Amino acid sequence: MLKEDILHKLPYGKSFRFVDELLHIDENGVAGEYTYAADSYFYESHFKDYPVTPAVILTETMAQIGLVCLGLYLLKDASDEAKISLAMTSNSIDFLKPVYPGEKVIVTSEKLYFRFNKLSCKVKMENVSGEVICKGTISGMLISKPHG
């Protein structure tokens, strides 16, 4: 599966997709990047007169790159791939540095395990200077999409 195919399969709309590019992906992990647009909706009120990217958005970025993209890659040979989705079930993240509007981040993820429909990954977010912004573990479960 090509990196572009994975990006196309992401289940997010434009304002909630936090993946610009996948730099590397294989069965053991993934690396990708995202630049937070200065006009993103969440900067208007977080924090007033001193915008900082919310921790929940940083976590979501790590989950989209480090869990969902990797999960899509690992499911590439599944016969019912279109009927399966991946939902985050747990995370434990340490936040070390803030991320400001317009800043680019690089997320790397290492698969810890993928069994019994659960994917768990060790994730790390860095700025372009190589400083760690946040790190931890994120896990998710494969779920069947409702019939529509």
Amino acid at 10: L
Q: For the domain 3-144, what is the CATH superfamily, name and number? A: Hotdog Thioesterase (3.10.129.10)
Q: Spell 88-104 as b/e; 16+ CB within 10 A means b.
A: beebebeeeeebeeeee
- Compute the average pLDDT of residues 104-120: 96
Q: Tell me, what's the pLDDT at 82?
A: 63
Contact indicator for 121, 139 with CB cutoff of 8 Å: yes
pLDDT of 139 higher than 90: yes
Phi, psi (degrees; rounded to nearest 5) at 48: -60, 130
How far apart CA 15 and CA 115 sit, in angstroms, is: 32
pLDDT of 77 higher than 90: no
Enumerate the domain spans of the chain.
3-144
**Residue 92 — pLDDT band, cuts 50, 70, 90?**
very high
pLDDT of 78 higher than 80: no
Dig out the tokens for 29 from the structure: 């992990």
Q: Tell me, what's the pLDDT at 86?
A: 82
Can you say how many angstroms the Cα of residue 127 is from the centroid of all Cα atoms in its chain?
A: 15
pLDDT tens-digit series, residues 38-71? 999 999 988 888 999 999 999 999 999 999 999 9
**Residue 83 — pLDDT band, cuts 50, 70, 90?**
low
